[in-house]
Amino acid sequence: MRIDILTVVPELLSSPLNESILKRARQKGLVEIHVHNIRDYTTDKHRTVDDYPFGGEAGMVMKVEPVFRVVEKLKGERHYDEIIYTSPDGQTYDQHEANRLSTLENIIILCGHYKGVDYRIREHLITKEISIGDYVLTGGELAAAIITDSVVRIVPGAIGDEASALTDCFQDNLLAPPVYTRPAEFNGWKVPEVLLSGDFARIAEWQENEAWERTQRLRPDLLEKNR
């Protein structure tokens, strides 16, 4: 899989995409992540990527030409399954969408900035608009990093233990059950006895019950999705 991220602040993306599972997935060749500075696609002396909005509102708007140039260049090199724009007014991101994106071959993520991008970019170049939640970030870079992280970790082979991505929170619209490790007792606080029993059928049943109980208590809205 290949992810191309278009941004005016590439520095914001370097560390989140170069540590831990993402670093390993890139080293193993499971995923290629390329960050492009939109400023490199300007043609004027000042490398201008934004301008005042028509109509005289406050704030700046990302210009159409540099974004068009980088998108056209990339599209000339390969087919893209999805060209994503990160924006608070996009569709709310969730595990279902992460799963879908992880099956694609090539995607572009355009990070919004300033007051937004010239709307013609969204009308003519973008195929999918994603919000990571109902709050406003300074720019779309952190959203792009979140999307990339959540997608790459479920690309087959990225996580050492193949089964572990399938038991993540949300994979079946349930929260994950509690987990514990040694020591079995600390400070008088005990690990549930069933987990020490070695009886895998009982353990699986306990985990399923816990997942349902926690979901019902903490996120009853998720259970609606299972109906």
Residues making contact with ligand ADE (CB under 6 A) = 86-88, 112, 131-133, 135-137, 140, 143
Min. distance of Cβ 159 from ligand ADE in angstroms?
Answer: 25
- In terms of CB distance, is 109 or 159 closer to ligand ADE? 109
Phi, psi of 222 (to 5 degrees): -70, -30
Burial annotation 107-119 (CB, 10 A radius, 16+ → b, else e): bbbbbbbbebbbe
- In terms of CB distance, is 84 or 174 closer to ligand ADE? 84
In sequence order, the 6+-apart residues with CB closer than 8 A to the CB of 120 are 64
**What is the Cα Rg of the chain in Å?**
22
Min. distance of Cβ 90 from ligand ADE in angstroms?
Answer: 6
- In terms of CB distance, is 86 or 102 closer to ligand ADE? 86
Min. distance of Cβ 53 from ligand ADE in angstroms?
Answer: 17
In sequence order, the 6+-apart residues with CB closer than 8 A to the CB of 49 are 8, 38, 39, 42, 62, 63, 66
Min. distance of Cβ 95 from ligand ADE in angstroms?
Answer: 16
- In terms of CB distance, is 66 or 112 closer to ligand ADE? 112
Residues in the chain, total: 227
